[in-house]
């Protein structure tokens, strides 16, 4: 049974506007489109199918002719994996400009491939959305923290019948990504270097990046390592978190942190799938922090909140894991601790440092416990209450 057919995905897609839907492999883009728009109302072009790809890459104008012949019989035209034939976007722009009655729905793994292929991104004509692995609130009563941290929330892993299947799904995902996505990014001439890079990137997940050190470890230049991280971000396999500063120059001068998009994929890259995720370990804390930050990214994206996310690290060593800035100028400091009852020493040094540069910041320590606490001027929040608070911002 398809997990997405029983989930209410939080992303809100428009019904009468052309749009792109980007997302990493197996996040459920195709299933979501069919569910939301109804298969009977869709004219679907799946460019992963060899016969479809072959005929349209040889003659993209066939697409325009076929859509024109539809007239008013079909409401939506769905092009899956559109980045495989960027030339189709010129045909789509022509049809849009000619006021075709169809609405175009275009999915792919990232806009990067379209740009690299000089694809027309339909500026002013099509909106853009990202789809991520399943969120905490989409899982609802099925949400289990240990399972989330151990195996992630890619749809096909949520309903996998056993641990063996979950682990094999994740191993396969990493292998497919390496073979198809990376080779598609024209990196196949140094696929070995990229594999070494991926392994190293997984080991520094959640840490401030030292490009020179990583480059030395994997035998690549720091310029190449920076480009590889950019590929992971552009293909929605991870996110960069910039240092907190009111100066844009200073933000980009200091190294960012990087977080993989799914804890299961991260553990597969780390070769840790055969080990249980144990509370009170460094790994557990790292996965919990990764998951919370990814959840905030997804809430901001799906609800179009335009939140600015960063982290703080002072010269004296004080840290705040996540800083959230709203369009109205509100600042929230978030320390993420995989403990049931964090102590003041776990969060006060970082929050006190943040208060010096952002005196009005509201600060929370997010924990795995079930009880909300007030500790001086700071609050300790269970993770579910924190995620609810972010949704209601």
**Distance in angstroms (rounded) separating the CA atoms of residues 314 and 330:** 21
**Please, which pLDDT band fits residue 259 given cuts at 50, 70 and 90?**
very high
Is-contact 126 21, C-beta < 8 A? no
Percent above pLDDT 90 for the chain: 80
As separate numbers, helices (DSSP H) first and strands (DSSP E) second, the chain gives: 18, 13
Most distant CA pair in the chain, distance = 69
- Residue 94 sits at φ, ψ, to 5 deg, of -60, -45
Provide the pLDDT for residue 352.
Answer: 96
Handedness of CA 228, 234, 237, 242 (dihedral sign): positive
Encode pLDDT of 337-351 as tens digits: 999 999 999 999 999
Encode pLDDT of 275-298 as tens digits: 999 999 999 999 999 999 999 999
Residue 120's nearest CA partner among 240, 2, 20, 38 is 20
Per-position DSSP letters for 249-266, written without gaps between them: HHHHHS--EEEES-HHHH
**Please, which pLDDT band fits residue 247 given cuts at 50, 70 and 90?**
low
Instruction: Average the pLDDT over each of 74-78, 167-171, 232-236 and give the range with the smallest value.
Output: 232-236
**Please, which pLDDT band fits residue 123 given cuts at 50, 70 and 90?**
confident
Cβ neighbours, 10 Å, residue 158: 23
Residue 392's nearest CA partner among 338, 330, 339, 321 is 330
Global pTM? 0.93
Residue 187 has pLDDT above 60, yes or no: no
Encode pLDDT of 129-161 as tens digits: 999 999 999 998 788 999 999 999 999 999 899
Is-contact 105 78, C-beta < 8 A? yes
Q: Look up tokens 């230049």; give the residue.
A: 221
Per-position DSSP letters for 74-114, written without gaps between them: -SEEEEETGGG-TTHHHHHHHHHHTT-SPEEEEEES-HHHH
**Please, which pLDDT band fits residue 301 given cuts at 50, 70 and 90?**
very high
Mean local confidence (pLDDT), 299-323: 96
Cβ neighbours, 10 Å, residue 110: 22
**Domain 3-131 class in CATH:** alpha beta
Helix (H) or strand (E) holding 364: strand 362-367
For residue 287, CA distances in Å to 260, 334, 341 come to 10, 16, 18
Token readout for 210 is 């030292």
Q: What is the 8-class DSSP label of residue 219?
A: T
Mean local confidence (pLDDT), 23-31: 93
**Delimiting residues of CATH 3.40.1350 domain(s) in the chain:** 303-391
Provide the pLDDT for residue 194.
Answer: 86
Helix (H, G, I), strand (E, B) or coil at 48: coil
**Distance in angstroms (rounded) separating the CA atoms of residues 70 and 41:** 12
Residue 249 has pLDDT above 70, yes or no: no
Average pLDDT over the chain, rounded to an integer = 91
Is-contact 296 322, C-beta < 8 A? yes
Encode pLDDT of 380-390 as tens digits: 999 999 999 99
For residue 141, CA distances in Å to 7, 289, 382 come to 11, 21, 16
CATH of domain 303-391: 3.40.1350
Is-contact 391 303, C-beta < 8 A? yes
**Distance in angstroms (rounded) separating the CA atoms of residues 241 and 97:** 39
Residue 186 has pLDDT above 60, yes or no: no
Provide the pLDDT for residue 97.
Answer: 93
**Please, which pLDDT band fits residue 4 given cuts at 50, 70 and 90?**
very low
């Amino acid at each position: 049974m398809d997990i997405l057919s029983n989930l209410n995905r939080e992303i809100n897609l428009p019904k009468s506007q052309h749009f792109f839907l980007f997302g990493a492999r197996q996040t459920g883009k195709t299933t979501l489109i069919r569910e939301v728009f109804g298969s009977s109302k869709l004219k679907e072009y799946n460019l992963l199918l060899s016969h479809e790809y072959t005929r349209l890459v040889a003659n993209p104008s066939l697409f325009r002719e076929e859509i024109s012949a539809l007239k008013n019989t079909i409401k939506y035209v769905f092009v899956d994996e559109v980045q495989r034939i960027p030339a189709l976007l010129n045909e789509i722009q022509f049809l849009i400009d000619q006021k075709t009655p169809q609405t175009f729905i275009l999915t792919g793994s990232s806009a990067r491939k379209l740009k690299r292929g000089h694809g027309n991104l339909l500026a002013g004509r099509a909106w853009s959305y990202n789809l991520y692995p399943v969120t905490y609130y989409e899982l609802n009563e099925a949400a289990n923290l240990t399972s989330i941290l151990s195996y992630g929330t890619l749809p096909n892993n949520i309903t996998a019948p056993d641990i063996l299947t979950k682990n094999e799904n994740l191993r396969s995902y990493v292998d497919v990504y390496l073979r198809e996505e990376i080779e598609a990014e024209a990196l196949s001439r140094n696929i070995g270097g990229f594999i070494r890079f991926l392994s190293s990137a997984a080991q520094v997940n959640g840490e401030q990046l030292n490009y020179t050190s990583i480059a030395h470890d994997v035998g690549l230049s720091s310029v190449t390592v920076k480009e590889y991280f950019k590929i992971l971000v552009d293909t929605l396999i991870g996110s960069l978190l910039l240092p907190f500063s009111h100066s844009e120059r200073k933000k980009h001068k200091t190294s960012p942190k990087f977080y993989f998009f799914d804890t299961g994929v991260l553990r597969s890259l780390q070769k840790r799938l055969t080990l249980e995720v144990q509370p009170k370990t460094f790994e557990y804390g790292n996965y919990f922090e990764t998951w919370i930050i990814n959840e905030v990214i997804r809430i901001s994206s799906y609800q179009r909140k335009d939140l600015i996310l960063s982290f703080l690290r002072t010269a004296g060593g004080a840290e705040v894991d996540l800083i959230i800035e709203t369009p109205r100028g509100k600042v929230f400091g978030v320390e993420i601790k995989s403990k049931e009852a964090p102590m003041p020493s776990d969060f006060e040094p970082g929050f006190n440092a943040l208060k010096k540069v952002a005196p009005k910041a509201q600060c929370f320590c997010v924990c795995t416990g079930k009880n909300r606490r007030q500790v001086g001027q700071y609050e300790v929040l269970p993770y579910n209450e924190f995620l609810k608070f972010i949704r209601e911002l």
